[in-house]
Amino acid sequence: MDRMSPLDAMFLHVEDGVSHMHIASCAIFEGPTPDFDDLAALIRSKLPLVPRYRQRVRFVPGGVGRPVWVDDPHFRLEYHLRHTALPAPGSDDDLRRLMGRLMSQELDRHRPLWETWIVEGLADGTWAMVSKVHHCMVDGVSGTDLMAVVLDPSPTRSEPAPDDWDPEPEPSDADLVRDAIGETIASPTEMARWVRSGLRRPRRLMTGGREVLDGALSLGSRLQPNVELSIEGSIGPHRRWTWTRTTLDDIRTIRRALGGTVNDVVLAAITNGYRELLVHRGDPVDGVVLRTLVPVSVRGTGDHSLNNQVSAMIAELPVGVDDPLERLAAVRRQMGELKESHQADAGGIVAELAEFAPPALLAAGLRTAVSVLRRVPQRSVNTVTTNVPGPQIPLYACGREMLDYLPFVPLSYGVRTGVAILSYNGKIAFGLTGDYDTVPDLDVLAAGIDDALAELLALSRSSRRSTAKR
């Protein structure tokens, strides 16, 4: 039995009929499609490396403790591994529609919270593997780590991991309550130990305290209502999804010629995408900044655990800036200021302190916050943007190389669009999620990102030619 962290529990508690808290990816492989039984054997051989995939959630009676993970004695791979095919001719639009439908369905909480879909019938002879995992199990970084575990680093199939799994007996309700009460009693002691550890390093504590305070003040300043835009508001249960992509070499060409980091260039492209979407909708853009929630990994080096280890910052994208060079410069300044603000530090400390909060109080607080968000429209955050580095080597399934690795980001209250960025083997993919009913023009956002990248690349090449002539 393994208890969820407060952050993992939050992703479980905030889910309802419209806010689906699963993250996902669509991996496209070279053809031909392997035999389904071979793919099932591949996934089965990797299960010993991912124990959480054979565990389900149990809630503590009365909410006196955070949910726990327990072995599922009825685990069947056949339930989680699904098989489907696109209708001919199997276009990209067909794949987008299928992904949208799959992402509109919640995972079954009575079973381990994951699904993998094998999709045949793509037009060019390729096939896809759609991986769908609840956010309470993984964050973006551990999700990509998981994909690297499930797949092989060469066309040659790796040896199956020894599998001596024997599910532990499920705890009774009385066991769950007793364990939760014991943890609650121990929490003040652990909290005192945490404080004493800080007091033994007063200089570090004071410095860290100032940084956290600065971060909290910076984060608070960006929670003020922003200008009302059509990409925020209530959402339904159904999703649209699309993608666009570029290469890491093109992004680096832009960065070297025009300045900034890879992340700065990517965010500048996304900024233009939203600018074109807002202009298309008739929303105001002059002088407008778009606030986006940016998850930040606080995972230590070498930490490959599955649980969520993220904090967050709120960045302001300058959609009011028309000139691409000025837009990139504004993004660079913004990200530099954001790094100095210590917003992520403040979020990380809050997550640590939540470990010591009484579980019943924490759960009640989460339920109250969710209830308020449902009734009161928020205008503090307009969208969400995640950027996760993926594996930079080719990966394989049954000897077929993975060609593209396309991400999906979930939506929650008041946020109708989201962008996930994922790098893989020299490519960068932008996965765009939209609420089905209120964002029928998600393709405009994708086209705006493409336009920005093409424009910046042309400017960078022109800049290099001008420099060479001098």
pLDDT 10s digits, 257-306: 999 999 899 999 999 999 999 999 999 999 999 988 887 655 455 545 55
Judge whether 37 and 160 are in contact, CB under 8 Å: no
> Which of 218 and 240 is assigned the larger pLDDT?
240
What is the per-residue pLDDT for 457? 96
What is the per-residue pLDDT for 157? 85
What CATH fold (topology level) applies to the domain 2-175? Answer: Chloramphenicol Acetyltransferase (3.30.559)
Domain 2-175 and domain 205-469 have a common topology: yes
What is the distance between the alpha carbons of residues 55 and 111, in angstroms, rounded to a whole number?
8
What is the distance between the alpha carbons of residues 242 and 253, in angstroms, rounded to a whole number?
26
Judge whether 241 and 432 are in contact, CB under 8 Å: yes
What is the per-residue pLDDT for 376? 45
Determine the average pLDDT of the residues in 81-102. Answer: 95
Query: Dihedral angle at the C-alpha atoms of 162, 1, 12, 407, nearest 10 degrees?
Result: -20
Give catalytic residue positions: 135
| Residue 166, φ and ψ in degrees, nearest 5 | -135, 105
Determine the average pLDDT of the residues in 45-51. Answer: 88
Amino acid identity, position 415: V
Judge whether 365 and 208 are in contact, CB under 8 Å: no
Amino acid identity, position 216: A
* The CATH classification of domain 205-469, taken from the options 3.30.559.30, 3.10.580.10, 3.30.230.10, 3.40.50.11890: 3.30.559.30
- Res. 432: pLDDT tops 90: yes
What is the distance between the alpha carbons of residues 281 and 141, in angstroms, rounded to a whole number?
34
Q: Does the CA dihedral 434-439-441-445 come out positive or negative?
A: negative
Bridge partners of 276, per DSSP, are none
Determine the average pLDDT of the residues in 184-194. Answer: 51
- Res. 78: pLDDT tops 80: yes
- Res. 63: pLDDT tops 90: no
> Which of 381 and 222 is assigned the larger pLDDT?
381
> Which of 449 and 337 is assigned the larger pLDDT?
449
What is the distance between the alpha carbons of residues 399 and 274, in angstroms, rounded to a whole number?
39
What is the distance between the alpha carbons of residues 426 and 421, in angstroms, rounded to a whole number?
13
Determine the average pLDDT of the residues in 190-201. Answer: 49
| Band of residue 205 on the pLDDT scale cut at 50, 70, 90 | very low
Packing angle, helices 359-375 and 173-199, rounded to 10: 90
Q: Would you list the domain boundaries of the chain?
A: 2-175, 205-469
> Which of 355 and 421 is assigned the larger pLDDT?
421
What is the distance between the alpha carbons of residues 290 and 292, in angstroms, rounded to a whole number?
6
Over the stretch 121-174, which tens digit does the pLDDT of each residue have? Answer: 998 999 999 999 998 887 645 456 567 778 899 999 888 878 889 999 999 989
